[in-house]
Amino acid sequence: MPSFLYDTSASIGDVVFNADDAGGVGWYLVNLDGWTGSPQGTLAPVQKPRQAGAWSGKSYSKPRTLVLTGAMVAPSKAEARDAMDQLNEAIPLDDQILYVTEAGLQRYITVRRDGDIIPKWESDCACTFTVQMVALDGRRLAAPLTGMTMLPQSSGGLVIPYTIPYTINSTVVSGTVALTNPGNDTGSVLLRLDGPCAGPWQVTHQGSGPILTFASSLTLAAGEYQLVDMDKKLALANGQANRAQYITSRQWSGFDPGPNTWSFTAASFNPASQLTVTATPAWR
């Protein structure tokens, strides 16, 4: 039997590697090629005629190919048979999430099986297996981060010039959400605006500068909300009806590596208006 990656744990579907399941079957992660590297790009240089060098446009990441090698040890031949059925179900042809934990950091990626699952039986109850998978979006993601803000305001506050000044602190709402992406790639951002809120309203990614603006004709009543998926460039009323036609400035922003700040403004102030930003850390 090959050596195992005891310092790395992984799971997909109902299979958890480097652990025994409820039936006493031991699952082991032998190798996971393609996880630690970065997918190749789409760069296609074209040689300049009659001179040195080449031309090329932008390069984008191709899908990430992953090859998982594992091992399975069962208490009996019948349980080994059932375990292989479980493995076939855990890695289907459609989307499935693969979770990988390294040095205490859990990340995940959405994969599809792109090859056969063929076990190599070492005995009646033990086998190794290899399966190739592909992640159409090659980014490795971590648990989303969330922040919330109301519209910016400042109220109260007073300094009375006694011999010893007496201060009444003011209430300040910045109207911003600050989150930090610990990864090295741009992650996805989901906005949720809860009404009441009168348009036009804007969300600005400070620093990089993109401003997403909704028209004055879009007004949210109490109990209504607007979802904006920056990655997919979608705007949905109450998470369903398309409201993209109300966007007057289509400047989408992502969760850039390092600190990020989004500011929230609207045409008129309402203390019940609320913006929630959910951002997903990403690694190449």
Residue-wise pLDDT for 265-275, tens only, equals 888 888 889 99
* 187-229 confidence digits (pLDDT tens): 999 999 998 988 788 999 998 889 999 888 888 889 999 999 9
**Residue 161, pLDDT score:** 54
Residue 82 near residue 88 (C-beta atoms within 8 A): no
Query: Which pLDDT band, with edges at 50, 70 and 90, does 3 fall under?
Result: low
Please check the confidence at residue 17 and state whether its pLDDT lies above 70: yes
pTM of the model: 0.82
How many domains is the chain built from?
2
204 and 273 within one domain: yes
Please check the confidence at residue 2 and state whether its pLDDT lies above 70: no
157 and 122 within one domain: no
Residue 196 near residue 207 (C-beta atoms within 8 A): no
Let me know if residue 77 belongs to a domain: yes
**Residue 136, pLDDT score:** 95
CA distance linking residue 110 with residue 87, whole number of Å: 17
159 and 133 within one domain: no
What integer is the mean pLDDT of 248-257?
92
* 63-91 confidence digits (pLDDT tens): 999 999 999 999 999 999 999 999 999 99
259 and 151 within one domain: yes
* 127-172 confidence digits (pLDDT tens): 999 999 999 999 999 999 999 999 887 443 334 454 555 444 444 4
130 and 14 within one domain: yes
CA distance linking residue 214 with residue 255, whole number of Å: 21
Query: Which pLDDT band, with edges at 50, 70 and 90, does 39 fall under?
Result: confident
Minimal CA–CA distance to 30: which of 48, 50, 10? 10
CA distance linking residue 71 with residue 10, whole number of Å: 13
262 and 207 within one domain: yes
- With a pLDDT cut of 70, the percent of the chain lying above it is 90
Let me know if residue 111 belongs to a domain: yes
154 and 206 within one domain: yes
* Chosen domain end from 121, 138, 155: 138
279 and 150 within one domain: yes
184 and 65 within one domain: no
Host domain of residue 239: 145-283
Whole-number average pLDDT of the chain:
88
269 and 155 within one domain: yes
**Residue 245, pLDDT score:** 86
What integer is the mean pLDDT of 35-52?
90
Residue 157 near residue 188 (C-beta atoms within 8 A): no
- CB neighbourhood size of 210 (10 A): 17
**Residue 260, pLDDT score:** 96
276 and 150 within one domain: yes
Query: Which pLDDT band, with edges at 50, 70 and 90, does 38 fall under?
Result: confident
* Chosen domain end from 80, 113, 138: 138
Please check the confidence at residue 182 and state whether its pLDDT lies above 90: yes
What integer is the mean pLDDT of 26-44?
91
CATH number at residue 192: 2.60.120.860
* One-letter amino acid for residue 143 of the chain: A
Residue 11 Cα to chain centre, angstroms: 18
